[in-house]
Structure 1
Amino acid sequence: MIPLDILVSATGGTLVQRGSGDRFSAFASDAREVQGGECFVAVRGVHADGHDFAADAA
């Protein structure tokens, strides 16, 4: 598991919403598939921008 503060620091990312935990067992880039214990990672693609779906992953 990766601590949240290390993940944010290492990626230069922005924490949009803190969940109930600060460690994650897996990552998901599809907001429709995020499960408990996972961290949603927003990725800009050719056809869609994951940042538009961050609220759906919460």
Structure 2
Amino acid sequence: MMALVTWQRAVKSPREIEYMRMVEKMYAHIVERIEPGMRKRALSGHREHRSHSQ
């Protein structure tokens, strides 16, 4: 896996770190809801519902 990200800068800016944390939260949300055989559309529906309810 390390070879895939060797092009990224070793020192991250505050904005890059903020984006990385946002992505981490999004993936955690996906992992909590995804089920075997689930379609992307159903999963994105969870995301849309969540964004409108906040």
TM-score of the superposed pair, with normalisation by structure 2: 0.21
Kindly indicate which of the two structures has a greater share of residues assigned to helix.
2
Kindly indicate which of the two structures has a greater share of residues assigned to strand.
1
Higher relative contact order (CA 8 A, sep 6+): 1
TM-score of the superposed pair, with normalisation by structure 1: 0.21
Query: Which structure is larger by alpha-carbon Rg, 1 or 2?
Result: 2
